[in-house]
Amino acid sequence: MMIRLKPVQEQVVVLTGASSGIGLATARALADRGARLVLVSRNESALQEIARECSEKGARAIPVAADVASFEDMERVTAAAVETFGGFDTWINNAGVAIYGTVEEIPIEDHRRLFETNYFGVLNGCLVAAKHLRQRGGGKIINTGSVLSDRADILQGPYSASKHAVKGLTDALRMELEEDRAPISVTLIKPSAIDTPYMEHARSYLGSPGTKNPPPSYDPELVARAMVFACENDRRDIVIGFGGWAISAMGTIAPRLTDYVMEMGGRISQESDDPGRRERRDNLYEPREDGIERSSLPGGSRKTSLFLEAQLNPLSALPGMALGALAGAGLVAMQVLRPRSVQPRPRRTVRRPRSETPSSSTSNQSG
């Protein structure tokens, strides 16, 4: 089966979750390359502004306010792409929402809503994309998973479970398309912690005022670079950030030790006294403030990743990658071996946010 992918500047790309975080960074990167864009999100006003920004870069972009959890809305996105551009070449399933809290604390309706967006939203996109690309003669499907597709994290159980499900769906779809000799490439993008409004957009049941990324945190433009690369190249998986990959690898080699490390450090590394911008807080059922790539929380992000470069350009990155791997292994070892005092944590009574009725709108926070 021969899969031929066009250069990005010749492609029409559908991008969900385009109004914030990884999606916004990817929209800008694709516009810089001259792609024609169908931008999808719940936040119509933010989408319109982003479409105008892309047009100023010389790219043609249309906004389509839609809910990835609605199959009918995804069919409407396809219709808009066909009407405006004659179809699309790449579909990127990037929309996602997050919840912080223990599995027991989080209400079942919130578990369900997260899966409606993070899993069924990807499924809906895959179904309409595969149908269209079969008729078009081939193309690309890109799904945003996570390093948590391979290794669950404490206090992010529903999100971890949804990203495990996205990985299973992506792998199954890839095999079935290959068996059917459909010329459609399927790539799973797996970011580590990324410096986006993810933490501020998340619904939280933690006792702390805010949440934060466990270090190291990476710049969203690195994920956008991987997305653009995947539009043109038939790769199975691309991981952004050695730190997240190392934890996943350690979980495969020594699962119980990794459990212990994450139990000891997970709460400390994710709870924060800084709530960030309250205008962004909790987009589980309704969109909040969008049009931004990065978090407003203190701290920074890594602007480069030798580990990513080694995946995109293996030969040119080998020397630097070897040094980076040694340094990363040292950091992981320090985390594992660092002495900790363990105190029993009393069970807390958590005041739960009032659950709202799910709206017909799509998630715009990336994975």
Q: Would you please indicate which residues are annotated as catalytic (active-site) residues? A: 159
Phi-psi region of 110 (alpha: psi -120 to 50; beta: other; left: phi over 0): alpha
Alpha helices in the chain (DSSP H): 21-32, 44-56, 71-85, 108-118, 120-136, 157-179, 198-201, 220-232, 242-253, 255-270, 306-312, 314-337
Please answer whether residues 217 and 193 qualify as being in contact, where contact means their C-beta atoms are separated by less than 8 angstroms: yes
Q: Which residues does 236 contact at the CB level (< 8 Å), separation at least 6? A: 174, 187, 188
Handedness of CA 161, 327, 195, 145 (dihedral sign): negative
Using alpha carbons only, give the angle 280, 28, 312 rounded to the nearest 5 degrees.
110
d(CA 278, CA 237): 35
> Residue 84, Cα to own-chain centre: how many angstroms?
27
Residues in a beta bridge with 147:
none
SS3 104: coil
214: tokens are 């466990």
Residues constituting the chain: 367
Residue type, 155: L
Radius of gyration of the chain (CA): 20
Omega of the bond prior to 216 within 30 degrees of 0, cis?
yes
